[in-house]
Chain A
Amino acid sequence: MSLVATLLGTAMIAAGVGFLLFAALGLWRLPDTLSRLHALTKADTAGLALVALGAACLSDTPAALLPLGLCALLVAVSGATIGHLIARRLMRRPAA
């Protein structure tokens, strides 16, 4: 496995983990639910995508990219939809 791929992979995973840490920090520190949604949807999706790509680079078979990429896509789609649903529910009835 070429040195470049390993370096690139580890860098991406490190970045991804960074994003996830920030998302967790945001979830903890941000005052109300709406703002926490940002942390959940955006930062988590980005973090996970980066980790997935990094893992794909690290693994020796290129075919591993397909399942990992699919995971990233699904998390992105579901994250967005659920973010929308929670926000919509909140707009109708303020924080129960």
Chain B
Amino acid sequence: MSPVVLFDAALALGVLGCAALALTLRDRTGTVAAFMLTGLLVALSWLRLGAPDVALAEAAIGAGLTGALFLRGARRLGPLRARPPAPAQAAAAALGAAVLSAALLWAFATAPAESLYPPRVAAALEDSGVSNPVTAVLLNFRAWDTLLEIAVLVVALLLVMTLSPPRVIPDKLGALVQPFARIVVPVAVLVAGHLLWQGAEAPGGAFQAGAVLAGAGLALVLGGVRVDRRVLRRALTALALAGLAVFTLAALASQAVTGALLGYPDGQAKAWIIAIEGALTLSIAATLCLLFTGYGRRSAR
């Protein structure tokens, strides 16, 4: 049993344990804390599975922002209101879930898993404009998936706008939060820029940079910056919508130039990708920030 296998086993057990905690604790904030911990441990396991880009995104979005959303929800939804299920139903559900996960484990463990993608990605990496294979897949080979994914973000924002849930106006958090924000925000902007730029060669990219910027935004909101001033909210909304607009127009422009939708003119692929990623970073940050702060007129604690 080499030490790394031990580490993997411990990490897996940690993930499962925290997830069980998150789903079974009766106290709301306890479940959210356990959920954030699960997210961090899962980010570590992504590293061990050789997916650093995903680890960054998981830590920033999966654990960070989703945790913040759950905290906001936990405060508003009040104590847990669910009668425990009948024992028979719980047992049946447990049995069913166990059988399904066992079948899944058998299927995934014995699957041959000869993916067709690595050789093709390696071959096409040269003229994809970037050397980080994940960014190449995300923004060149399967750019259509990414465009639709940004559309998902925009539609989620539209939905939240339509619902206009009560807005987050945090109560006075004391004197220390302002200086904290003053330190964290510039560093976050710096890190985000670095992540965006190095995304072409090494793990990083629009989503991770956007998530870090959104984190900075959240810090500002919690620091008491009033986002509800109409001008700032409209600007953020415009920024949030701009990302998808830029990407779609770039796609159509690329077809006008090269005849293939999302087919970047050869040689300029890197320039197009960086431009698109820049717009995406800002738009994702704005969208995630707005998704957290909500849109409604009535302010609620």
Contacts and interface: CB of A to CB of B under 8 A. Distances in A.
Asked if A and B form a direct contact in the complex, defined as CB atoms under 8 angstroms apart, the reply is yes
Nearest to A87: B174
A73 B186 CA distance: 13
Nearest to B175: A84
Contacts of A78: 180, 184
User: How extensive is the interface on chain A, given as a class?
Assistant: 10 to 19
Interface in B141-189: 173-174, 176-177, 180, 183-184, 187
Contacts of A70: 187, 191
A77 B177 CA distance: 11
A88 B174 contact: yes
A81 B180 CA distance: 7
A81 B176 contact: yes
Nearest to B188: A74
Nearest to A83: B176
A75 B241 CA distance: 33
A85 B187 contact: no
Interface in A61-77: 70, 73-74, 77
Contact of A84 (B174, B183, B184, B187): B174
Interface residues of B, number: 9
Contacts, number: 21
Contacts of B174: 84-85, 88
A85 B184 contact: no
A88 B187 CA distance: 26
Contacts of B176: 80-81, 84-85
B91 to A, nearest CB: 34
Contacts of B180: 77-78, 81
Nearest to B191: A70
B173 A77 contact: no
B187 A74 contact: yes
Interface string B181-223: 0011001000100000000000000000000000000000000
- What are the 9 tightest A-B residue pairs by CB atom distance, in nearest-first order? A81-B180, A84-B176, A88-B174, A81-B176, A77-B183, A85-B173, A77-B180, A74-B187, A85-B174
15 contacts: A73-B187, A77-B180, A77-B183, A77-B184, A78-B180, A78-B184, A80-B176, A81-B176, A81-B177, A81-B180, A84-B174, A84-B176, A85-B176, A85-B177, A88-B174
Interface of B: 173-174, 176-177, 180, 183-184, 187, 191
